[in-house]
């Protein structure tokens, strides 16, 4: 009879244990193949059907597909779709959200069971005993709530990390496109200048051959021509490098850009920058920048971690009901366990959490200082760039008037054609100076928008989930 009484509890325990195991998650292998991932990266193109769906989802539906000419906003969406940095940021946010689930779990109870054997039982009494203990841990002092708050703030910081990665991808793309367009325009102006200088040198050479001028008169013109050719080669190299950086900013191989036409101009930010005061720029940055919001969330997480360590001074409880079958007698007991804080009161962990919170606060202030310095520098460069552009435009206007004056004199027969060529060369040089001033001003405006990070003219959900398909307001 005892053996049957002993077998039934253990059989029930075994069946319950098997039932718990049946609900456990299973490991799913996901091998990572460098060769396959490399092939996938190399096969990416701007004609990808998934990219088309992504554009349609985010309100940038193309009229035809594949597109042959891309604007900046559509290329920005392509960067959000392809660039690995956003995939990393999304994965980090997913891991942080999983941390919220883990933080909210309660500690599992412990069930222990085992037979006992009496070495000297009374005559006629079975030597076997059965014992079952159930240990239920009880968290105290709100530890679970602090743990959940810490995980929630860390998830919020990780979510802001997606926006930070998006701004970096957008800024890198815009800088590469600005540099490519500037190099292409510089190349066109240099080719025109070289053409004019070659014509002037040919006329000068004819005069030298006729004995009207000394041969040394052509030397400065040959130097200028050679310098222009060197600058043209440098512009071609800069254009190629900028095109490669454009592909990198998009998360695509360079070959994917060969069949498409990239934009020659970016959205004009000059009017918005002119209306923006320094105080308004600082306010927008402190309210809009994702890295500042992420740092605030990290500080809140550190505060919750400190509260958790303070709460851990107070020991958790362990409630332990038990059952014992003792030689025909059924015995039920109840035990209450508690950790005695005799040797430490969690001082080390509390001090570490306090230092961690102070470190994050210092890093937040340092981040604010960097942002404000970047805004001040960008505003100064915008003002200086605008002034230099006005001066360059005034120079171009003066050179144009001079060229027109020389043209009228040439029509009147008072100057030679070489004088008109020289005036056109000077006018082209002024155009080059104006172009470089405009490029510097455009880069300063882009730096200002990147420093403020406002506005991000794309839906946040497009950054968080590249497969999301709700209608954006």
Kindly indicate the confidence band of residue 236, based on its pLDDT and cuts at 50, 70 and 90. Answer: very high
Question: Which residues face 112 on adjacent strands?
Answer: 133
Rounded Cα–Cα distance for residues 456 and 283 (Å): 16
pLDDT above 70 (res 57): yes
Overall average pLDDT of the 59-87 stretch: 91
The whole-number average pLDDT for the span 121-134 is 77
Q: At what angle do helices 49-57 and 72-82 cross, to 10 degrees?
A: 120
Domains of the chain: 2-9+72-454 (1.20.1600.10)
Q: From CA 257, how far away is CA 250, in angstroms rounded?
A: 10
pLDDT confidence of residue 473: 28
CA–CA separation, 23 and 415 (whole Å): 97
The reported pLDDT for the residue numbered 463 is 52
Please say if the pLDDT value at position 105 is more than 60.
yes
Using CA atoms, how far apart are residues 135 and 359, in angstroms rounded to an integer?
A: 40
pLDDT attached to residue 456:
41
Over residues 3-20, the pLDDT tens digits come to: 444 455 555 555 555 555
Q: What's the CA gap between 244 and 247, in Å, rounded?
A: 5
With vertex at residue 465, the alpha carbon angle to CA 52 and CA 98, rounded to the nearest 5 degrees, is 155
Question: Does residue 322 have a pLDDT over 80?
Answer: no
- Statement: residue 31 has pLDDT above 60: yes
pLDDT at residue 470 in the model: 32
Q: State what percent of residues in the chain have pLDDT above 70.
A: 90
Q: In whole numbers, what is the pLDDT of the chain averaged over residues?
A: 86
Radius of gyration of the chain (CA): 37
Per-residue confidence band for 332, with pLDDT thresholds at 50, 70 and 90: confident
CB distance 200 to 187 below 8 Å: no
pLDDT digits (tens, 9 = 90+) for 208-227: 878 777 777 778 888 889 99
């Amino acid at each position: 009879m005892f053996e049957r009484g002993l077998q039934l509890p253990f059989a029930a325990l075994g069946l319950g244990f098997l039932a718990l195991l049946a609900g456990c998650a299973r490991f799913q292998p996901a091998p990572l193949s460098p060769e396959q991932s490399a092939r996938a990266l190399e096969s990416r193109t701007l004609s990808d059907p998934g990219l088309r769906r992504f554009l349609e989802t985010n309100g940038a539906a193309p009229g035809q597909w594949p597109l042959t000419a891309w604007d900046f906003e559509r290329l920005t969406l392509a960067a959000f779709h392809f660039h690995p940095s956003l995939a990393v940021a999304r994965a980090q946010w997913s891991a942080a959200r999983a941390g919220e689930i883990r933080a909210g779990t309660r500690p599992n109870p412990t069930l222990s069971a085992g037979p006992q054997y009496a070495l000297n039982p009374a005559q006629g009494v079975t030597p076997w005993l059965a014992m079952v203990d159930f240990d239920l841990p009880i968290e105290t002092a709100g530890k679970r709530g602090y743990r959940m708050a810490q995980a929630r703030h860390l998830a919020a910081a990780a979510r802001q990390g997606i926006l930070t990665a998006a701004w970096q991808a957008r800024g890198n793309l815009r800088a590469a496109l600005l540099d490519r367009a500037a190099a292409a325009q510089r190349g066109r102006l240099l080719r025109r200048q070289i053409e004019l200088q070659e014509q002037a040198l040919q006329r000068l050479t004819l005069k030298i051959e006729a004995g009207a001028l000394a041969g040394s008169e052509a030397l400065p013109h040959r130097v200028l021509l050679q310098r222009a050719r060197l600058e043209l080669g440098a512009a071609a190299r800069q254009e190629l490098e900028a095109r490669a950086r454009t592909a990198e900013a998009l998360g695509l191989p360079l070959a994917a850009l060969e069949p498409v036409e990239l934009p020659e101009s970016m959205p004009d930010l000059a009017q918005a920058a002119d209306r923006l005061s320094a105080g308004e720029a600082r306010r927008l940055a402190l309210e809009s920048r994702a890295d500042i919001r992420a740092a605030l969330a990290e500080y809140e997480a550190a505060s919750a971690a400190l509260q958790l360590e303070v709460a851990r001074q107070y020991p958790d409880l362990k409630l332990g009901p038990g059952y014992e079958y003792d030689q025909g007698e059924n015995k039920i007991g109840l035990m209450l366990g508690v950790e005695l804080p005799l040797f430490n009161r969690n001082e080390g962990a509390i001090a570490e959490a306090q230092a961690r919170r102070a470190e994050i606060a210092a890093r937040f202030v340092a981040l604010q200082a960097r942002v404000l310095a970047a805004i001040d520098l960008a505003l100064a460069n915008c003002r200086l760039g605008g002034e230099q552009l006005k001066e360059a435009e005034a120079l171009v206007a003066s050179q144009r008037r001079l060229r027109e004056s020389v043209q009228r004199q040439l029509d009147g027969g008072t100057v030679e054609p070489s004088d008109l060529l020289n005036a056109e060369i000077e006018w082209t040089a002024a155009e080059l100076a104006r172009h470089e001033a405009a490029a510097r001003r455009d880069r300063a405006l882009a730096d200002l928008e990147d420093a403020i990070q406002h506005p991000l003219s794309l839906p946040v959900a497009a950054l968080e989930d590249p497969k999301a398909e709700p209608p954006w307001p």
